[in-house]
């Protein structure tokens, strides 16, 4: 995989490390954070404050939030 360098504040770097385990690279930690964020988006899409939503409602919400 091709790599790149990004500039981040030292405070952000320290906060990223709080999500990692010993021996993990920043790339691995960020990948975990992205996966978690995607799962949270899906959760928020499928559930509302009343519980479950229908698949039709989930599709409507998805199309509204992420139009093609």
pLDDT digits (tens, 9 = 90+) for 4-62: 999 999 999 999 999 999 999 999 999 999 999 988 888 877 776 676 777 788 788 88
> Which DSSP state fits 2?
-
Alpha-helical regions (H) of 1-68 = 10-17, 26-46, 55-65
Reported pTM:
0.63
Provide the token pair at 68. 């093609």
């Amino acid at each position: 995989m091709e790599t790149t360098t990004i500039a981040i504040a030292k405070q952000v770097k320290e906060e990223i490390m709080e999500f990692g385990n010993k021996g993990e690279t920043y790339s691995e930690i960020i990948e975990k954070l992205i996966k978690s964020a995607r799962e949270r988006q899906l959760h928020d899409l499928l559930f509302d404050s009343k519980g479950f939503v229908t698949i039709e409602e989930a599709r409507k919400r998805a199309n509204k939030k992420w139009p093609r």
